[in-house]
Structure formats: C-alpha cells, structure tokens
Structure 1
C-alpha cells in the first residue's frame, strides 16, 4: 500500500513539473516541448526540477518574430 502511494505521488509530481515546464516554456523559450521534456527528466531529481522551474520563471520572455 505504501509503495502504491509513493508511485502515485511521484506520478503527480512528474506530471505537475512537466505541465509547469511546458506552460513556462511557451512564453520563456522558443521550444516548449523541449522545456517539458527537460522538466520531466529532472523530475526524477526533485531539487533539480524545482531549481529548473525557478530558472524558467526568472528567464526573460522569448522574442516573437
């Protein structure tokens, strides 16, 4: 039962990090899919995933041409 709870919490965390990375990537980068992929990969290391979100949040908006 405890293992199932850990899996569910991790899946929620990975999904949330990926979604936030994608949404931030839409305005802060030119390639939101790559931002979401990096966010998903870093979700396996939670401190790095949170640092990545902060970096994306503080980044300047991408210029739209």
Structure 2
C-alpha cells in the first residue's frame, strides 16, 4: 500500500472538521467561549495525539453552567 502526502493531508483536514465540531459542542457546555475552544482544537489537529488529549481534557472538565436544583 502506498501512503503519500496527499492521503496524510486528507486525514488531517478531515480530522480538523471532526475535532473542531466536537470541540465547539463540548466548549458550549464546558467553557464560556466555545469558539476559542474550537479554534484550539483545530490547531491541535496538526499533531494528532494532542487533539485527542485536548478532547479528553474538555470531556473531563466540569460544566460551566450547572444549575443546581434543590
């Protein structure tokens, strides 16, 4: 199987869309500024292990707007 730069580039660009969308939706619940969270997620797609770690950190972070009902 021949893997060239075109295939690697397509994988990186495809992961930018997926991680950007996931970062935005997680950022809406977990941060006060979801657009910045999405931009950071897209930038970290350049190095794939960092974008996965970033998504894990966003997932484990407590929700920003927790309404406590008693």
Question: TM-score band (shorter)?
Answer: 0.7 to 0.9
Structure 1: 4+ residue segments shifted above 4 A:
none
Deviations 1:11-63 (A, max 9, x none): 11111111110010010111000000100111111111100000000000012
The number of equivalent residue pairs is 64
Q: Is there any run of 5+ residues in structure 1 with no aligned partner, and where?
A: none
Normalised TM-score (structure 1)? 0.87
The higher radius of gyration belongs to 2
More helix as a share of residues? 1
- How does the TM-score come out when normalised to structure 2? 0.81
- RMSD (CA atoms): 1.6
Partner residue, 2:44: 42
- For 2:50 and 2:11, locate their aligned partners in 1 and report how far apart those are by CA, in whole Å: 17
The match for 1:54 is 56
